[in-house]
Amino acid sequence: MSRVLLFVFSASAAVAGEVPPDAMALKHLVHQDCGSCHGMTLKGGLGPDIRAESLQHYDPETLGQVIQDGIPGTAMPPWQPLLTQTEINWVVDYLLTGEE
Ligand code: HEC
């Protein structure tokens, strides 16, 4: 029982202690780094169109997995080494809403 409470406490402390995602830096990353393959406007290039209207078949979890793990056997790299879970979640939200 106390173990469970300790776990819940430390998990929420970790979340509370985490630096909020830097929206400017992540927007830059999406357009520059993702854009180097998917096009600066994300309309597609080496990689496919990843504008919001093209990603509607994804639920956020699946899209997060694709960004996190990449697509093995293709040029789509895993981003997990470079982005935290919070940052990946931000990018997923940004891509799915297409907000500028
Ligand atoms: C080195 C090139 C490259 C970079 C950089 C890159 N991608 Fe990709 N991405 C690809 C390729 C190629 C595919 C298509 C793989 C395939 O054939 O299924 C792809 C596929 C995807 C898909 C699946 C699209 C679909 O219609 O199913 C998503 C989503 C995606 N990339 C998001 C991103 C995001 C977000 C970033 C930046 C964090 C990024 N990619 C960076 C090359 C890249």
Check residue 10 and give its pLDDT: 45
Nearest atom within ligand 1 for CA of residue 36: 5
CA 38 / ligand 1 centre spacing (Å): 7
What domains does the chain contain, in order, with CATH numbers? 19-97 (1.10.760.10)
CA-closest candidate to residue 85, choices 18, 5, 7, 2: 18
Q: Does 48 sit in the ligand 1 pocket, CB within 6 Å? A: yes
Whether 37 and 48 have beta carbons less than 8 Å apart is answered as: no
Low-confidence residues in the chain, pLDDT < 50: 1, 5-13
Nearest atom within ligand 1 for CA of residue 46: 12
Q: Does 45 sit in the ligand 1 pocket, CB within 6 Å? A: no
Mind listing the pLDDT tens digit for each residue in 82-94?
999 999 999 999 9
